[in-house]
Amino acid sequence: MKTMAERMRYSSGTKYEPTVGYSRAVRVGKIVHVSGTTATDAEGSIVGIGDPAAQTLQALNNVRKALESVGAKLEDVVRTRIYVTDIRQWEQVGKVHGGFFKDIRPANSMVEVKALVNPQMLVEIEAEAILS
């Protein structure tokens, strides 16, 4: 008989999670999915207003925290997706992502979107990880 893998969830405590009905990260077995993550601090304030590099740094630190909360680490990441509101800023965003994932080099996409949930948010990042 097959048993279901345990489902672990992590909530960062943002106001959006219960309203929209999602978790910041979900782990089932060895697979972890991190929801679209923006540049908010512990109080929910946006970090780096007007600065895509600073927002990318904060968002990736938030992704790292979400991964670690369910027993994963950056080295387990196999895919990231980056959503930006201005693709002309791709290089600033990409350099910060490269700093985090220089030796890991997950599969990645970066796409421009019309807007994020808050007009001051410039970057949103998703991640998928497989624990070794």
**120 domain-assigned:** yes
**2 domain-assigned:** no
**15 domain-assigned:** yes
**1 domain-assigned:** no
**48 domain-assigned:** yes
Per residue, what are the HEC states of the chain? CCCCCCEEEECCCCCHHHHHCCCCEEEECCEEEEEEECCECCCCCECCCCCHHHHHHHHHHHHHHHHHHCCCCHHHEEEEEEEECCHHHHHHHHHHHHHHHCCCCCEEEEEECCCCCCCCCCEEEEEEEECC
pLDDT of residue 3: 54
Q: What is the CATH number of the domain that holds 62?
A: 3.30.1330.40
What's the total number of domains in the chain? 1
> Which of 3 and 122 is assigned the larger pLDDT?
122
Range of the domain at 18: 7-130
**53 domain-assigned:** yes
pLDDT in tens, 48-106: 999 999 999 999 999 999 999 999 999 999 999 999 999 999 999 999 999 999 999 99
